[in-house]
């Protein structure tokens, strides 16, 4: 969700994570497969999705094997 909100804030400008200016493949699938759109750190998530951070249904999944 954060990636989608960033996309709408920066639509077709520098920093848009899945701009169609990079081509149709990138805009629809490439950013998911090869991009960093799903790898936001906690500070980015808190900035763009504070409402979801407070919702008990939307909890982050733990990462790593530790």
Residue 59 counted as domain residue: no
Q: What's the pLDDT band for 49 if we cut at 50, 70, 90?
A: confident
Residue 50 counted as domain residue: yes
Please give the residue range of the domain that contains residue 40.
2-54
Residue 63 counted as domain residue: no
Residue 66 counted as domain residue: no
pTM greater than 0.95: no
Q: 17-21, 24-28, 58-62: lowest mean pLDDT where?
A: 58-62
pLDDT exceeds cutoff 60 at 64: no
Residue 10 counted as domain residue: yes
Q: How many domains does the chain have?
A: 1
Residue 36 counted as domain residue: yes
Residue 22 counted as domain residue: yes
Residue 12 counted as domain residue: yes
The per-residue b/e assignment along 46-61, b for 16 or more CB within 10 angstroms, e otherwise, is eebbeebeeeeeeeee
């Amino acid at each position: 969700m954060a990636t989608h909100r960033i996309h709408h804030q920066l639509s077709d400008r520098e920093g848009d994570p899945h701009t169609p200016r990079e081509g149709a493949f990138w805009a629809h699938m490439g950013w998911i497969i090869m991009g960093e759109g799903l790898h936001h750190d906690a500070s980015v998530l808190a900035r763009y999705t504070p409402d979801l951070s407070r919702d008990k249904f939307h909890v982050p999944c733990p990462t790593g094997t530790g």
